[in-house]
Amino acid sequence: MYYVNREGIARRLRCIPELSEASGAIAEGWTGSLLEGLAQERCLHLALEIVTDVGNFLIDGFMMRDASSYEDIIDVIAGEGVVPPARAETLRELVALRKPLVQDYDQWPRREPNRLATELPALLRAFEEDVNAFLKRELEPWESQR
């Protein structure tokens, strides 16, 4: 184990409550307006960036196998027991949205509700719990030896 950037992880995880609140409100009151569509895009984008940033911090800090893609970040952390397989599948779907959101934004169907956007609040809260449980499980033995 190298240095685990716990502050970087914590800063990103602290974004989850507001992002969950916003995505839940957008999904609940969806009318298909342009503003809702743009807000939904941003929620999805921030969510996948949080997941991949935290995943990369974990991969670096715990010397896990290097990831070759955004989806592979999820495979690595799932393989290391950070997230359960069922959640990993949904997280893979989320991070697969990066290319359409960042590169193909001119083709994004922003007036349509995205299924993952409605799942974001629960998905992100569960991801946060998974990460915190993993950190506790992996770091407590090291910290108790100090």
Catalytic residues: 98
SS (H, E, C) the chain: CCCCCHHHHHHHHCCHHHHHHHHHHHHHCCCCCHHHHHHHHHHHHHHHHHHHHHHHHHHHHCCCCCCCCHHHHHHHHHHCCCCCHHHHHHHHHHHCCHHHHHCCHHHCCCCCCCHHHHHHHHHHHHHHHHHHHHHHHHHHHHHHCC
